[in-house]
């Protein structure tokens, strides 16, 4: 096992990164007002890999508004949606490096089509920061890790906050449980569960496949959790909308498959409680990560806020799980095979 890992240290630095992002609220409000004052009616949220999943987390904030928000991988936006982009559109492009080829190409195309472009990045003076009409630079400290950790939480939180501020700017009240200030402390508390997560990981080493389930804002977390495990531990993983699991995939599950449910307290709580009860009745024992009081949990999320705000914190135990499955298998998550920090050509 490796003794000191920058990937692990950067996961542990997430509370500080989240504080930094919350400190950017004045700038986030400015950008949100620009979007609203321009009369934007269509918002494309895009990125690649983890940045795409971070972009997805923003989408859930705007579903009950007149703004049509759609999250897409940058390549899909570029290849299939450019005809839908015009001067009433805004493209919010996320990229830790600010250098990913498809993301830059989509941004450039969107500019050509007259869209308002917003870049969210952790990399100062990157092409994304320079070329977007407006950019939000997240100064969370250099992330050495190849797989995204605190940068994922930071990109997700900034996107969620930006979409929340867009909502506020169009005159919609944010719910009383919209309390982003509670996230850094919750992230610190989750990190105290590291030993428990390590124990859980140690019981997963013989699994050949993993299925991650999530509804609403937990779905991008299921996707990102599945990606983290694949990137660090080289196992095949799949993420599904939780209730979709019963529509076919359940047939493929046996003792070689690890099943993980991310259950956010919110609109689908009662359906998730029923789902988990039904799975247990069929002798399927999922690992449950949740803040729903009524559920028996393997990892309890100590945070009771609007479910759209949960992703930046809920991803932490999944990152730790990926880290420990990897190291307990004798792999090195600091050096994932074939991966580089960004993909610069397509
Ligand atoms: C995005 C990304 C990462 C992934 C891999 C390659 O980079 O896809 O999510 O882990 O290392 O790059 P970026 O556009 O956010 O810099």
pLDDT digits (tens, 9 = 90+) for 243-262: 999 999 999 999 999 999 99
Alpha helices in the chain (DSSP H): 6-12, 14-23, 25-37, 50-59, 74-80, 101-112, 127-131, 150-169, 183-191, 194-202, 218-233, 269-281, 311-328
Complete DSSP assignment for 10-55: HHHTHHHHHHHHHHTHHHHHHHHHHHHHTT--EEEEEESTHHHHHH
Cα–Cα–Cα angle for 10, 203, 50, rounded to 5 degrees:
35
- Minimum CA distance residue for ligand 1 atom 7: 342
Q: What is the 38 CA–ligand 1 centroid distance (Å)?
A: 30
The helix (H) or strand (E) run that includes residue 260 is: strand 257-263
Q: What is the 122 CA–ligand 1 centroid distance (Å)?
A: 12
pLDDT for 74 equals 98
Give 214's contacts (C-beta < 8 A, 6+ positions apart): 220, 221, 222, 223, 239, 241, 242, 261, 262, 263, 264
Question: To the nearest whole number, what is the mean pLDDT of the chain?
Answer: 96
- Minimum CA distance residue for ligand 1 atom 10: 147
Return the ligand 1 atom nearest residue 227 CA.
10
Give 219's contacts (C-beta < 8 A, 6+ positions apart): 56, 239, 241
Q: What is the pLDDT of residues 111-152, one digit of tens each?
A: 999 999 999 999 999 999 999 999 999 999 889 999 999 999
In angstroms, the CA 169 to CA 271 distance is 33
Provide the token pair at 219: 């779905």
Q: What is the 148 CA–ligand 1 centroid distance (Å)?
A: 7
Taken in order 99, 18, 228, 59, the sign of the CA dihedral is negative
SS3 183: helix
Half-sphere exposure of 164 (CA within 13 A, CB side): 22
Q: What is the 195 CA–ligand 1 centroid distance (Å)?
A: 28
Q: What is the pLDDT of residues 270-306, one digit of tens each?
A: 999 999 999 999 999 999 999 999 999 999 999 999 9
**Confidence band, pLDDT 50/70/90 cuts, at residue 343:** confident
Q: What is the pLDDT of residues 42-99, one digit of tens each?
A: 999 999 999 999 999 999 999 999 999 999 999 999 999 999 999 999 999 999 999 9
Q: Which residues lie with the beta carbon below 6 Å from any ligand 1 atom?
A: 48-51, 95-97, 100, 103, 146-148, 339, 341-343
Return the ligand 1 atom nearest residue 100 CA.
14
Most informative mutation of 7, 46, 47, 49 for ligand 1 (most atoms within 8 A of CB):
49
Please give the distance of CA 290 from its chain centroid, rounded to a whole number: 16
The helix (H) or strand (E) run that includes residue 71 is: strand 68-73
- Minimum CA distance residue for ligand 1 atom 13: 95
Most informative mutation of 11, 48, 158 for ligand 1 (most atoms within 8 A of CB):
48
């Amino acid at each position: 096992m490796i003794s000191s890992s920058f990937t692990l240290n950067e996961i542990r630095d997430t509370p500080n990164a989240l504080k930094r992002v919350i400190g950017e609220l004045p700038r986030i409000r400015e950008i949100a007002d620009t979007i609203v004052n321009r009369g934007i009616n269509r918002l494309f949220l895009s990125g690649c890999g983890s940045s795409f999943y971070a972009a997805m987390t923003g989408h859930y904030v705007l579903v009950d508004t007149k703004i049509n928000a759609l999250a897409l991988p940058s390549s899909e936006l570029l290849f299939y949606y450019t005809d839908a982009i015009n001067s009433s559109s805004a493209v919010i492009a996320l990229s830790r490096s600010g250098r990913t080829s498809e993301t830059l190409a989509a941004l450039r195309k969107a500019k050509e089509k007259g869209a308002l472009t917003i870049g969210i990045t952790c990399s100062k003076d990157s092409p994304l920061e320079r070329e977007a009409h407006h950019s939000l630079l997240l100064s969370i400290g250099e992330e050495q890790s190849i797989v995204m950790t605190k940068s994922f939480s930071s990109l997700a939180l900034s996107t969620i906050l930006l979409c929340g501020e867009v909502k506020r700017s169009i005159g919609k009240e944010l719910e009383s449980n919209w309390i982003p200030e509670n996230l850094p402390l919750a992230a610190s508390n989750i990190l105290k569960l590291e030993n428990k997560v390590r124990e859980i990981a140690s019981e997963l080493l013989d699994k050949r496949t993993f299925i991650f389930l999530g509804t609403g804002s937990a779905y991008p977390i299921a996707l990102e959790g599945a990606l983290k495990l694949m990137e660090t531990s080289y196992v095949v993983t799949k993420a599904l909308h939780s209730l979709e699991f019963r529509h076919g995939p359940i047939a493929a599950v046996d003792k070689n498959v690890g099943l993980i449910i991310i259950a956010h307290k919110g609109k689908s709580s009662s359906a998730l409680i029923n789902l988990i009860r039904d799975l247990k009745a069929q002798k399927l024992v999922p690992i449950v990560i949740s803040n729903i009081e009524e559920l028996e949990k393997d990892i309890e999320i100590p945070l009771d806020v609007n479910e759209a705000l949960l992703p930046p914190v809920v991803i932490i135990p999944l990152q730790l799980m990926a880290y420990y499955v990897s190291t307990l298998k004798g792999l090195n998550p600091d050096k994932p095979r074939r991966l580089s920090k960004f993909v610069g050509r397509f």
